[in-house]
Structure 1
C-alpha cells in the first residue's frame, strides 16, 4: 500500500541512483560507435540520426579497420566511460566514505592496473588500463610510477572530458548536496585533470547531486550548476542554456 502523498513524489533515491548509472551506460553504448565522427559523416553512414543501437562503423571489418581496431565499438557495447564509472563505484564500495585525490592513488589506480575485467569492446577479459585512453593512462604514469602528489597529478595532462565522464558516482554519494559534490569532485579530479577539465568534472557531479533532490527539475539543476561553475565553464553553460531556450538569464 502506498502511503498517502507518496504517489506524487516521483522516483525515490534508489531509483534515481539506478537510473543515473544505467542511463549513463545506455547513453555510452548508443554513442560509442559514432564517437569522433561529424554530424554529416554520421548522417551519411547511418542514413540519418542515430536513435538506437547500431553496429560498428566499419561493419564486420571492425577487428582490422584502422584506427578503430581492435575495439568492437557498437552493437550495444559500453566504452571506457562506463568502465571508469564502474571503477569509481568500486572504490566507494571499498572505502565506504567520501573520497579524495589520495583515494584515486590508493584504490582506483591499482584496480586499473591489477584486476582484469570483462571489456566489451575487446570481447575479452583484460586489465582496464589496456582499454582506457591516454588521458586515463596518465593516472597510472603519474601516480603509480611518478609518485606525484595526488592532489597535483592532473597538472600537465590532456585537458578533456576524461574526469567528467566518470564523476556521476560523486554526485550520487552527495545526493541533493550539489556544493558537496562539487567540492569532492574537485578533489578527486585533481588527480586526473586540471583547468576546465577538472572544473567540468566538478560541475557535472554537482548536476547529478542536484538531480537526485526531491522535486528536482531541469531548471533547478541548471540553477545549481550556475551557482557553482566558474569562469569559462559557467559562461559555456549559460550559452548552452540560452541556445536551448529560456534559461540564459539565470542568476547565481
Structure 2
C-alpha cells in the first residue's frame, strides 16, 4: 500500500528513525543524568576507573530523564499541531512550537496548566512530565510569557548553553522539508530562549545533521551539509570551528575521556555539540557512543542526549540498547508521540481530512483558541 509518496517500507524506515532519534536522545539524557555536575575525577571515584558503564540512579531511580527530554517531547507536540493546521491560513510553526514550550513551562510551575483550556492536548496530561528535572534558567525565563523571541529580538541574548540544542532533534525529523528550512525553523525556535548565536546556530546545525541522517545520509555527509548551510549565517564561525574540531579529532587520538574533554573546553552549545558529534562518529555501537558521551567533566546529560539522537536517527530504533530502554522513564509516552509524529508526517491528510475520523486526532492535538481548526 502506498500513501502519497510514502510506500510501506519507507514509512517503516521513517518511523524507526523517528523512534530511534527520540528514544536515543532520552536514553543518552538518562545515562548522563547521574553525572551532572561531576568532574572526570569525581565520576571515576563514584563509578570506577572506567566511569559509568550502565544506567545508574538519578532523581530516585534508574532511567529518569531531565528537562531536555521533556522539552523534546513538547517540540514534537508543537510540530504535529503546526502540521495539522498547515492549510488553515494561520500557519506559523515557530508560534505553535512556542505555545508547546509554554505548556511545558506550566508543568514546571506550582499551579500546572489551566485545565479550563481546551488546547492542552493529551501530552500535558502525562503526570510524569510534571517532575522538575534541572530546567535551564533561560528556558524558564524564555517561556514565561506570551512574547515570542525572534532572531531580530531573541530572548536571553547572552544565553549560550546547550539546552536549546537538546530539544531540537524533532526539527530534523521534518524529512519533507529542505535542509535550509529545517535550519531556519530550528534557529528561530532556539532563539525563543537562547539568544546567543552560538546557542541557536548549534541548535540549527544539530537539526540539519539529524535531518540528513533521517533521510538516509551518512553522518559525515550530514555534517558537511550543515557546515555548508552555516557558512551563510552571521556569527557562525565558533560553531563551524567546533564541528571541524570534532571531525579532525576522529583520526587525531584514540577515543577516550581525555579526548572527549579536550573537545569541550567550555559548557557552550557549540562545544557540547562537537563532543556529541565526535562520540557518534567514533561509536562502535550506540551503547559505546553514549558511554563516551557522558563520561567527562562537561554537560553529560546534554552531550548524551545529542549523541543519542544522532545515533538513533542513523541506526533506527532496533539498534538501541534494549536493557536501557526497558528502564527508561516515560518510554510509553515517547513511543506514542513518536508514532503520532510519523503518522502525521506520512498520512496527515487522511487523519484530519474530510474522510477521516478527524475529531479524535484533533482532540489529541487541538488548535489554539487564536488558530482555526481544519474543516472536517
Give the CA RMSD over aligned residues. 2.7
Indicate conservation of the 8 Å contact 2:202/2:239, yes or no. yes
Indicate conservation of the 8 Å contact 1:154/1:193, yes or no. yes
Indicate conservation of the 8 Å contact 1:172/1:208, yes or no. yes
Aligned to 2:180: 179
TM-superposed deviation, 1:222: 1.9
1:149-205 CA distances to partner (integer Å, 9 max, x unpaired)?
A: 431242435221111010011010246743221111112112121221011000010
Structure 2 unaligned segments of length 5 or more: list them: 1-6, 107-112, 114-123, 231-235, 253-376
Change in 2 beyond 3 A, CA 1:179/1:156: closer
TM-superposed deviation, 1:212: 1.1
Aligned to 1:60: none
TM-superposed deviation, 1:102: 2.4
- 2:193 aligned with 1:192: yes
Distance 1:244 1:176 in 2: 30
- 2:242 aligned with 1:240: no
Partner of residue 139 from structure 2, selected from 111, 136, 139: 136
Aligned to 1:150: 149
Report the count of equivalent residues: 213
Within a 5 Å distance, the mapping from 1:58-137 to structure 2 comes to: 71-72=59-60, 75-96=62-83, 97=86, 100-113=93-106, 114=113, 115=124, 117-119=126-128, 126=130, 132-137=135-140
Aligned to 1:249: none
Distance 2:176 2:52 in 1: 32
Indicate conservation of the 8 Å contact 2:82/2:93, yes or no. no
Aligned to 1:206: 208
Distance 2:104 2:35 in 1: 29
Determine which structure has greater relative contact order: mean sequence separation of CA pairs < 8 Å that are 6+ residues apart, divided by chain length.
2
Aligned to 1:122: none
1:203-231 CA distances to partner (integer Å, 9 max, x unpaired)?
A: 010010011123x2122122122212321
Distance 1:139 1:20 in 2: 25
Distance 2:33 2:139 in 1: 17
TM-score by length of 1: 0.74
Of 191-200 and 220-229, the range deviating more from structure 2: 220-229
Change in 2 beyond 3 A, CA 1:102/1:18: same
TM-score by length of 2: 0.51
Change in 2 beyond 3 A, CA 1:175/1:163: farther
1:120-160 CA distances to partner (integer Å, 9 max, x unpaired)?
A: xxxxx6376x862212101233x33xx3x431242435221
